[in-house]
Amino acid sequence: MNEPLAERIRPKTLEDYISQSHLVGAEGSLTHQIKSGNIPSLILWGPPGTGKTTLANIIAQESKRPFYTLSAINSGVKDIREVIDKAKQSGGLFTTKNPILFIDEIHRFSKSQQDSLLGAVEKGWVTLIGATTENPSFEVIPALLSRCQVYILNAFGKQDLEQLLHRAIKQDAELSKKEITLKETEALLRLSGGDGRKLLNIFELLINSEGSDKITITDDLVTRKIQKNTVLYDKTGEQHYDIVSAFIKSIRGSDPNGALYWLARMIEGGEDVKFIARRMLISASEDIGNANPTALIMANNTFQAVTTLGYPEARIILSQCAVYLATSAKSNASYEAIGKAITCVKQTGDLSVPLHLRNAPTKLMKDLGYGDEYKYAHSYDNNFVEQEFLPKEISNTTFYSPGNNQRENALRDFLKRRWKDKYGY
C-alpha cells in the first residue's frame, strides 16, 4: 500500500483527535466554535507532526463547509486567486457558510502572496486557516495576522505518542493483521522528537523491515533497524532545536569554536538565516546584557544584514557576530531582573501608582494631588534627587543586581552613590 500509515489513520472527527485538549477538549478554546460552525480565520502554530492539517480538515468536516487547500511550497499568487474565485462561487451556490481555505506552511508565502489573501479574508469570501511551524509574529504580515486568531499546538507528549502507536496497531488494516507487541517505546519516541507523523513513519518502516507477522518492539530492535543519522540536520525536527541549543550554549559559555561548529551545522543544513540571527539577538540581551551593550547592536545589525543578503554571503556575517558574542563579557542580570519584577507583579497584583508619579492632565486630577511632590530630576545637581519610585507596599525592593564584570561593576558603583543603602548596592 503506497499511502503512508500517518495518512491511513488520520482522525476524521474531534472525538478521534489526539492531544491539544486546550484547543479541542471539553473546555477547549476552539471546541464551541467548531461545534457551532462559527469559525474565525485562524493560524495554527506548532511543531511538525502535531495535527495542524488534521485539525483543519476536521474543522471543515464538522462545520460542513467547502474545503480548499494550498501548499505554500508550490503555490503562487495565480493559484491563490483561482482558489478564491472557486471559493466565492461555491460559497454563493451551495452554502450560506463561506468556504475554508487551508494553507499549509503559510510562513513560506512571500509578502505579495500573503497580500493577495487580504481581500478574501476581510470580505468573508473565505475563512482562512494557515498552518505554520514558525512564529507568525515574524513570518505572517501584520495586516493578515490582525485578521486571524492564533492558536498554539503543543508538541505531543509521551502518552499522546504511545496512544498514536496503539491506534495504528488496532485501526490500520495492514497492521491489525499482524501480532505486534509494544514492549519498549523509548527509542521510538526519542527518534520521533515529538512529531507524530515521523513516529508513524518510523514505526511503519520498522514493521515492514521485519518481514514477520509476529513482532515485539524493543529499544534494541529500533536501534538496530533504524538509522538514526540518515539526516545530518532536520530543520523541522528535534535536531533543529538541539543544535540551536548547542549553538547558544556555546556562545553563553564563551567558546567561539563550539559556536562556529554548530553554526556551520545549521548553515549546511539550510537553516533560515533569520532564525539563527533571532537567536543571537536574544542571546545578546539574555546572556551578555549590560556587560557589553554593543552586543545587542551588533546582533540587531546582523539580523538586518543577513535578512537582506541571504546565503551564501550571510554565513560571513553570522560567523562574525557569533564570534563577537562568544568572546564578549557575559551577564544575565537584566534577564533575571525582569523575571523577579514579573514574579513580584503576579504576587502583589495591581498596586496603586504613588500620587507624586501620576500624570495630571486635568484640573480635577491636580486638585486630587496627582503629581504633587514629584521632583524633576533635571532641576537638581547631577540630574538626580532621591525619591520613591515604587508603590509603598514594595518600597526598597531590589530587582536588578549588577553582574560581576567591568561595566556592571561601574554601574553598581554608580547606583551605590545615587541610592546609598536603599537598594543594598
Residue by residue, DSSP assigns 370-396 as: TTTT---GGGSGGG------S-GGGTT
**How confident is the model over 239-267, as a mean pLDDT?**
90
Which range of 86-95, 102-111, 205-214, 250-259 scores highest in mean pLDDT? It is: 250-259
Among residues 152, 173, 193, which one ends one of the domains?
152
- What's the pLDDT band for 84 if we cut at 50, 70, 90? confident
- What's the pLDDT band for 330 if we cut at 50, 70, 90? very high
**β-bridge pairing 214-217 and 179-182:** parallel
State the first-to-last Cα distance of the chain, in angstroms, to the nearest integer. Answer: 71
How far apart are alpha carbons 275 and 228 in whole angstroms? 25
* Residue 28 pLDDT > 90: no
pLDDT for 289-329, tens place per residue? 999 999 999 999 999 999 998 889 999 999 999 999 999 99
How far apart are alpha carbons 190 and 166 in whole angstroms? 17
Q: Is 4 part of any domain?
A: no
pLDDT in the model for residue 239: 64
What the block records as the C-alpha cell of 205 is 518502516
Q: Is 13 part of any domain?
A: no
Query: Taking the complete model, does pTM exceed 0.85, yes or no?
Result: no
| Residue 146 and residue 36 share a domain | yes
| CA-atom Rg of the chain in angstroms | 28
Range of the structural domain that residue 299 is part of: 238-326
| Residue 56 and residue 126 share a domain | yes
* Residue 211 pLDDT > 90: no
Ranking 36-45, 91-100, 379-388 by mean pLDDT, the lowest is 91-100
pLDDT for 394-424, tens place per residue? 998 999 999 999 999 999 999 998 898 888 8
- In total, how many domains does the chain have? 4
**How confident is the model over 336-340, as a mean pLDDT?**
94
Which of 234-237's residues contact partners 24+ apart within 8 Å by CB, and which partners? 234/269, 235/269, 235/270, 235/271, 235/272, 236/47, 236/48, 236/133, 236/195, 237/48, 237/193, 237/195, 237/198
Q: Is 425 part of any domain?
A: no
| Residue 177 and residue 101 share a domain | no
Q: Is 204 part of any domain?
A: yes
| Residue 179 and residue 219 share a domain | yes
**How confident is the model over 156-181, as a mean pLDDT?**
90
What the block records as the C-alpha cell of 33 is 466554535
pLDDT in the model for residue 369: 83
| Residue 33 and residue 130 share a domain | yes
pLDDT in the model for residue 423: 86
pLDDT for 121-131, tens place per residue? 988 889 999 99
**How confident is the model over 162-166, as a mean pLDDT?**
92
**How confident is the model over 133-140, as a mean pLDDT?**
86
pLDDT in the model for residue 228: 46
**How confident is the model over 44-49, as a mean pLDDT?**
90
- Domain harbouring 364, CATH code: 1.10.3710
| Residue 145 and residue 64 share a domain | yes
- What's the pLDDT band for 372 if we cut at 50, 70, 90? confident
* 49, 234 contact by CB (below 8 A): no
Mean pLDDT computed over every residue of the chain:
87
How far apart are alpha carbons 50 and 232 in whole angstroms? 22
**How confident is the model over 96-103, as a mean pLDDT?**
83
